[in-house]
Structure 1
Amino acid sequence: MAVFSESETLKRVKPSPTLAVSAKARELVRQGKKVISLSAGEPDFDTPENICDAAIKAIKRGETRYTDVDGIPELKLAIVDKFRRENGLEYKTTQVSVSPGGKPVIYNAMMASLNPGDEVIVPAPYWVSYPDMVLLAGGTPVFAIGEMETGFKLKPETLEAAITPKTKWVILNSPSNPSGAVYTADELRALGEVLKRHPQVWILTDDMYEHILFDGFEYATIAQVVPELYERTLTMNGVSKAYSMTGWRIGYCAGPEPLIKAMSKIISQSTSNPCSIAQWAAVEALNGPQDFIPQRSAIFQKRRDLVVAMLNGAKGIHCPTPEGAFYVYPSVAGCIGKQTLSGKIITSDEDFAGELLQQEEVAVVHGAAFGLSPFFRISYATSEVVLTEACSRIQRFCASLK
């Protein structure tokens, strides 16, 4: 009988921790447990009706065949218009690439550009998939820490210290998953001053949560505020978060044409084109009414305020207030070393998350999965009723620690 053996490349990576927590929570629910899962980064709003209608019309028109591998012309034009309208960035359609979700955009960029030994600076805390996609592409992730005291943001001196002659990329994510931190235009300019001194370094900026901003925060992206970096910046986005289209699987990016062409070669031999119907839905998302976006952001802000207040009322937890996205990233430093009702000593944020799930049936993702401990991530993309109950359970769990 043949024995399967993983490739050496696959052995370098691990499964997504956030997906693993969500799967464990679903399994406990199937067992009859009343688990509240706050692990998934998925808006609880429905996809707007006009977008769904556009998909149905596309089906009825017969838009059900293969398309260009990196997106239909109509969607590329909508993306060009979006970048001009919202970000002041000028691109041609030949500088645009569409993929089946945001992850493939990053993966394709890494696969198209990295050689063994190339380094990619990944600011921590980071979205869990960044380092593993770098590893899959043969590169080496280099972690640069954004401390809680600096708002979880990368400081210019930290970036400078992380750059070596082997650095190929730096990944910026604003608003951030997992911390909700958002860079100001001035903060991006300061990072840009560092990057201007290192012309071998390319910039991938993940703007997926661009429209989920709070307290009147004005959004900026680095190619917009540091035009000198335009020729080596890949600006990526998607329709998943702002338009509640996670299952439609459309991510997109714009950048230098040689990079876009190289990514197209990867796409042609891997996924091929994104779903044709989802592409037409994305055209309507980008071109259609946008008025619901600030309304939904206001709901997220109200949820944020609820969660931050309740978590800061939990013994041993300190929860900073994020500027965007729909996550909080609280510290559990005050819970380390304490004992649970079952006699377990909490020695790490992973212990904290595991014991919280066991004792109070609340699923969260431990901070080590995002490269910075001792923290955990909560997604508040769910109702206030659910969030209130979950945070009450967290307060009860923390109060029970000895």
Structure 2
Amino acid sequence: MDHLPPYLFARIDAMKANKLSQGVDVIDLGVGDPDLPTPDHIVEALCTAARDPETHHYPSYTGMIEYRKAVAAWYRSRFGVDLDPQSEVLALIGSKEGIAHIPEAFVNPGEYVLATDPGYPVYKTSTLFSEGRLYEMPIAAENGFLPVLDDIPADVLRQAALMFINYPNNPTAAVAPRSFFEEVVEFAREHGIVVVHDNAYSEITFDGYRAPSFLEIDGAMEVGIEMHSLSKTYNMTGWRIGMACGSAEIVAGLGRVKTNVDSGAFDAIQHAAITALSGPQDCIGQACNIYRERRDLLVAGLREIGFDVQPPKATFYVWAAVEDSIAAAARLLDEAGIVATPGIGFGTNGEGYVRFAITRSLERIREAVDRMGRVSL
């Protein structure tokens, strides 16, 4: 437990609560939790399913076959990827759960896990739980926030078991070209590494950009698995439903861990998720249009203040350079009542940045920009 850090967003919540207790009007641009409601047809599907007593029992460990078939159909429609719902799809209690559990299946004590830095904090904590060692792959602006695989030391590679990648990326909002995924597949083959692609933000895209699935790449199904979620796509963060898709062997390994540590996702939520995946998809485009407006407003405001920021092609984050990430986040909260996430909370290579989430209304973002203009960062 001495090596397990406090979860970043739990610490931010505590700081926010302290300010609220002082009567401060806090604008939270920290945690990436959509403020948009879950679409009505999905909510209605949950209500209908929850009234059925058949959904009140223990669910299947692997997920209802109807849900896994819906996931496979969605992957075929969205990415052109064919999946066997029986062996290549696994229901998750949110993608975070799958990310947290998969090192337990494939990482022996002392083996390395390769993870992008800065990156989602659970990559590190899941490695610690498996008694593995984390090798942080730096991602920096000069490389488009992509890791340079050739820079990984040979002695690390000889002991590496698993790699986490995440594009569209949290926290940097970077996107990856297909050529990068092709490089990862060849790299994983050469070194016998399991690839875990965290693709939770694939549907939050702008300006005509369409994010790919790692599984589209030739050979990816042999070496990897993709974690996906309905949380961001359909504004269902609190529902806790997602999926792991890919290599049957890797899916089975994760499933074996899950049968020992959880009892599966609530059937009524899986019924609602089927409705989300197989129903009308226009809600996604509507949400992206709202986020695009917010992105444009925040980016323009930050540039006017003096920030050097680029409009992201995907995610609902803006990654802004500052001199000191902790100091900048503290001043924003103390002097302006604005919650922003310090980049160093995502890893040492996140120092020099703060992350803003565009999960608040235009009015609140406009107010945030006005307040920031009065703070020396």
Measure the CA separation in 2 of the matches of 1:312 and 1:265: 49
Amino acid at match of 1:328: V
Amino acid at match of 1:392: D
Measure the CA separation in 2 of the matches of 1:223 and 1:179: 22
Partner SS for 1:330? strand
Alignment partner for residue 126 of structure 2, among 120, 133, 158? 133
Q: Deviations over 1:330-377 (max 9, x none)?
A: 1103xxxxxxxxxxxxxx311221122111111111111112211111
Alignment partner for residue 89 of structure 1, among 61, 81, 86? 81
- Displacement, 1:190? 3.5
Amino acid at match of 2:94: G
Aligned to 2:140: 147
Residues 321 and 160 of structure 1: is their aligned pair in 2 closer, same or farther, counting only changes over 3 Å? farther
Amino acid at match of 1:157: D
- Displacement, 1:69? 1.2
Aligned to 2:319: 329
Identity of counterpart residues, as a percentage?
28
Partner SS for 2:174? coil
Aligned to 1:293: 284
Measure the CA separation in 2 of the matches of 1:279 and 1:327: 28
Aligned to 2:160: 167
Aligned to 1:214: 206
**Structure 1 vs Structure 2 CA RMSD:** 1.8
Aligned to 1:388: 366
Q: Deviations over 1:51-103 (max 9, x none)?
A: 01111111222222111112111111111111211122222122211121111
Q: Is the 8 A contact 2:329 2:339 kept in 1?
A: yes
Q: Is the 8 A contact 1:159 1:191 kept in 2?
A: no
Aligned to 1:229: 220
Aligned to 1:120: 113
Amino acid at match of 1:369: G
Q: Is the 8 A contact 1:237 1:251 kept in 2?
A: yes
Matched, 1:33 2:9: no
- Displacement, 1:235? 1.0
Amino acid at match of 2:318: V
Amino acid at match of 1:148: A
Measure the CA separation in 1 of the matches of 2:143 and 2:264: 41
Measure the CA separation in 2 of the matches of 1:258 and 1:126: 26
What is the TM-score of this pair, normalised by structure 1?
A: 0.88
Alignment partner for residue 375 of structure 1, among 353, 358, 361? 353
Measure the CA separation in 2 of the matches of 1:163 and 1:219: 30
Residues 223 and 75 of structure 1: is their aligned pair in 2 closer, same or farther, counting only changes over 3 Å? same
Residues 311 and 167 of structure 1: is their aligned pair in 2 closer, same or farther, counting only changes over 3 Å? same
- Displacement, 1:158? 4.1
Alignment partner for residue 230 of structure 2, among 225, 228, 239? 239
Q: Is the 8 A contact 1:359 1:397 kept in 2?
A: yes
Measure the CA separation in 1 of the matches of 2:177 and 2:351: 25
Partner SS for 1:382? coil
Measure the CA separation in 2 of the matches of 1:161 and 1:245: 42
Unaligned 5+ segments in structure 2 are: none
Amino acid at match of 2:6: P
Q: How does 1:15-26 map to 2 (within 5 A)?
A: 15-26=6-17
Partner SS for 2:375? helix
> How many pairs align?
373
Q: Is the 8 A contact 1:155 1:191 kept in 2?
A: no
Amino acid at match of 2:200: M
Partner SS for 2:48? helix
Unaligned 5+ segments in structure 1 are: 1-9, 334-347
Aligned to 1:248: 239
Matched, 1:71 2:31: no
Matched, 1:110 2:100: no
